[in-house]
Amino acid sequence: DSGVTQTPKHLITATGQRVTLRCSPRSGDLSVYWYQQSLDQGLQFLIQYYNGEERAKGNILERFSAQQFPDLHSELNLSSLELGDSALYFCASSPAPLGAGQETQYFGPGTRLLVL
Amino acid sequence: GQSLEQPSEVTAVEGAIVQINCTYQTSGFYGLSWYQQHDGGAPTFLSYNGLDGLEETGRFSSFLSRSDSYGYLLLQELQMKDSASYFCAVRDYTGFQKLVFGTGTRLLVSP
């Protein structure tokens, strides 16, 4: 157990819908990262927040957005869902941004999204 | 852009030693990390190399050669529980710092 929690564990929805995935980082961690893992794409970095502010963006679609709240939990919003958005979505956290004296990210158990 | 290459699958028997290679091409390099992921599970951090050489953590070791843009993960005294996917990842500095993952190597350990 990494200490990172994600809800829900599973989500089944239809194309065109909107969903929100939630992540609570480890106690004391200020940095949150979101990843998408699909069979053919591997682990793809989406976006990073540090202490409430966006710090880095990866291959995140415009239909996707995220935020980190004052209590440091984060939400990933996925809208106008398409079949290809079906994937595992992981949240990870670290005390500080990578390179600031530490290199480890702690991953949550993931949310498995199925778009039908 | 960035690219990382790993073998897609490696097989070995219990008690053996296996090496998983990773070659990378990035613009800006600040270290190579390794993560383990069991089926249906979350990635877990194994090791990090920021400088050339070997880092040892129990049965696992990781090596980096920055001049060759190459690293490997060495697993010794293999156990059935080591069957998992192993990902190398590089820290890519393009103004911000984030991890770029390879496509992963599936390790199958047989009795």
The pLDDT tens digits of the residues spanning A23-50 come to 999 999 999 999 999 987 789 999 999 9
Q: Which residue of B has its CA nearest to A6?
A: B42
Please write the tens of the pLDDT for every residue from A53-66.
Answer: 998 888 899 999 99
List beta partners, residue A64: A78
How far apart are alpha carbons B19 and B58 in whole angstroms? 15
Question: Six-digit token pair at B83?
Answer: 């069957």
Please write the tens of the pLDDT for every residue from A8-20.
Answer: 999 999 999 999 9
Q: Give the angle B37-A1-B5 at the CA atoms, nearest 5°.
A: 20
Does the beta-carbon distance from A99 to B97 stay under 8 Å?
Answer: yes
Does the beta-carbon distance from A43 to B44 stay under 8 Å?
Answer: no
**A38 φ, ψ to 5°?**
-120, 165
Q: Are the CB atoms for A59 and A74 separated by under 8 Å?
A: no
Report chain B residues whose CB lies below 8 A from the CB of A109. 41-42
